[in-house]
Amino acid sequence: MEARRQPANAVVFSDEPLKMKNMKKDSQSVPYVINAVFFGLFFSMAYFLLLRWREKIRTSTPLHFVTISEIAALFSLIASFIYLIVFFGISFILHPFAASGAVTYYDEDEFDVTTKNTGNCLVDCSSVTPKLLPLPSKIADQKPLPESLTLSPEDKEVVRAVVSGSIPSYSLESKLGDCRRAAAIRHEVVESVTGKSLEGLPVEGFDYDSILGQCCEMPIGFVQIPVGVAGPLLLDGKEYTVPMATTEGCLVASTNRGCKAIYVSGGASAVVLRDGMTRAPVVRFNSAKRASQLKFYLEDPLNFDSLARTFNKSSRFGRLQNIKCALAGKNLYMRFTCSTGDAMGMNMVSKGVQNVLDFLQNDFPDMDIIGISGNFCSDKKASAVNWIEGRGKSVVCEAVIKEEVVKKVLKTSVEALVELNMLKNLTGSAMAGALGGFNAHASNIVSAIFLATGQDPAQNVESSHCITMMEPVNNGKDLHISVTMPSIEVGTVGGGTQLASQSACLNLLGVKGASKEAPGANSRQLAAIVAGSVLAGELSLMSAIAAGQLVKSHMKYNRSSKDVTKIAS
C-alpha cells in the first residue's frame, strides 16, 4: 500500500501501532509502583525509628548506641528521602518554567533549515521541514478550542502547545517555516487565551512573508482600510490620481472637490525647499566647558569635510548636510541633517551618526554617549525645531482659484474664505497655542496618503505641520491659497512601501521605488503631491465651513445607508 503523503511544511506526528501504545502504557505504570514502594518505605522506617527513639528515652539508653536493625532502618529512610526529593523536587521546579513558556518541547536538532538571501525574510519557508516532539501531557488538560476553528489536526495541536506555554508564540514563524500558517495559528491562540472572538479580522489574503523581520511582529491577521481616489490633481502641469486610505466619510469627496477647483483654475505648483532627514544624539561630559569644546569643534567649517567623510561611509545615498548643536549644562545635543535619496532615511542617518560618534570618541574619550536619539531630532513629536528648521521635505504649494470657480464649485466667496482663514487657521490656532497647526485639517489628508502609500503613520505628527494662507488677488476677484509644510517625511523605498497594496498606490502616482535618473526625485515628488492634496483639502473644507455646508455634507457622506440611490442623489 502506498504511504500517505504529508504536506511539505506539515508538523509530523507519528501514529504508533496499538501494540506499541499498550506497551507504552505498561511502561508508564512502572514508576507509580516504584513511587508507592518508596513512599511506604519512608513512612514505615520513620515510624520504626521514632518508636525506637521513644523506647531508648524511657529506658535511659544512650541514643548513639544503635543496633543493626536501626542502622538498616536509618539507611532506608535516607535513601527513600533522597529518591522522593529527586523525583518530585525536579518536577516541581520545572513545572512553572514549562507553564511560562521558558521550557520548549521542540528539539532544535530536528530542524533542517537552509537559509538563503531573501532580503529581510529571516527564514526560507520552502526549505524548512520541522518535526514536533511529543507534547507534554498537560496540553490535554487545556480547555477545548472554539468550534469555529478550521485548522488541521496538526495545527490544532500546535495551538494547544502555544496556549500551554510549551511553544513561544513569537517563534512560530521560525518553528513552522510558514508565515501564513503561523499567523493563522496565532490568531486562534489569541481567541483561546482571551476568550474574545476575532471574527471579522481576516487572516487569508495577505502575504505574511513580505512583513517578516521588517514591518510587523507576531501578526494575527490584517486590518482592511478602504482606499479611495481624489483627482485628477493638476500639479506642475501633470495630473495625479491621489489614493487615500481612510475610514472617515466625506474626506475623499471633499478633497476631490478641491482638486476639481484647482484643475479648472489652471492647476497648482509646488516647490521643495529643503530635503534632509535628521537625527540628534545626546552626549554628556564632566563639565559644560568640555561640552562646549565639542560644540565648537562640530560647528567649525574646517572640520566638516572629515566629519562628512566619516558620516557618508554608512550609505551610497546618505550625505551629511550640516550639524547644529544645542547645549544644556554639560549635556550636548547634536542635530545631524543629511540627504537620504528616495528612502525616508531614519535608519540611514542613524548609521551615519553612529559612525561620527565612534570617530569623535578618539579625540573626546571623556564623551559619554547617553543615546543615539536625544529628541532634538525631533521624530514623531510636534516640535518648534521641525517647524522652524524643517525635517524631511520642506514644501510650499500654491494655486490661484478664479472667482467663478469659488462661486460655482466651492459655493462661497473670496471674501468669506479670506476672513474665515484669518480668524480660524491663524488667529484661532494662535489662541489655542498651536505648534505647526495653522490649518484646517492637513493631518486628515496626510494620514490618508501615508496609509495608502506605506509611510510611517506616526510621522503624521510632524508631517502635518502646515500653515494655510489665503488672500485676494487680481483686484480682489480671485483667491490665492498656499500651504507651507516644513517637515513632510516620506519615502518611496523601504518600510511599508514594499507591500503589494502600498506599492500599487505608489505606482498609481508614478513614484514607485527609487529614481534611477536622479536619486531622491521620487520621494520629493511624493512630498509635493502630499502638499498639493493638502491644498485641495484645505480649500474644500474651508469653503464648506464658510458656506455652512459642513454638517450637511457629513450627514450625507458620513452615515451608513444601504440605499445607494439616496447617496448618489
Map residue 398 onto helix, strand or coil. Answer: strand
- Cβ atoms of 9 and 129 within 8 Å: the answer is yes
Are 201 and 162 spatial neighbours (Cβ–Cβ below 8 Å)?
Answer: no
Q: What grid cell was written down for 532?
A: 498639493
- In this structure, the chain runs to a length of 569
Long-range CB contacts (within 8 A, 24+) of 372-375: 372/279, 372/281, 373/279, 373/280, 373/281, 373/282, 374/280, 374/281, 374/282, 374/333, 375/280
What's the one-letter identity of residue 17? P
Cell 508508564 -> residue: 28
Mark 430-459 as b/e (b = at least 16 C-beta within 10 Å). Answer: eeeebebbbbbbbbbbbbbbbbbbbbbeeb
Q: Check if the beta carbon of residue 264 is closer than 8 Å to that of residue 406.
A: no
Residue 187's contacts (CB-CB under 8 Å, 6 or more residues apart) are 198, 201, 203, 220, 221
Total Cβ atoms within 10 A of residue 24:
10
| Contact between residue 445 and residue 534 where contact means Cβ atoms under 8 Å apart | yes
Do residues 12 and 131 make contact, with C-beta atoms less than 8 angstroms apart?
yes
**Three-state secondary-structure class, residue 454:** coil
Cis peptide before 146 (omega within 30 of 0): no
Which secondary structure element, helix H or strand E, spans residue 270, and what is its range?
strand 268-279
Among candidate residues 315, 346, 335, the one with its CA nearest the CA of residue 455: 346
Catalytic residue set: 248, 380, 456, 554
Give the relative orientation of helices 68-100 and 18-58 as an angle to the nearest 10 degrees: 130
The answer for residues whose C-beta is within 8 angstroms of residue 21's C-beta and 6 or more apart is none
Distance spanning both ends of the chain, measured CA to CA: 68
- The angle subtended at Cα 224 by Cα 220 and Cα 225, nearest 5°, is 140
Give just the sign of the alpha carbon dihedral 521, 526, 527, 533.
Answer: positive
Q: Which residues contact 106 (CB under 8 A, 6 or more apart)?
A: 130, 132, 133, 167, 175
CA atoms within 13 A on the CB side of 30: 5
SS3 assignment for 457-521: HHHHHHHCCEEEEEEEECCCCEEEEEEEEEEECCCCECHHHHCHHHHHHHHHHCCCCCCCCCCCH
Task: Report the alpha-carbon distance of residue 24 to residue 26 in Å, rounded.
Answer: 5
Query: Which candidate, 43, 176, 180, 40, places its Cα nearest to that of 106?
Result: 176
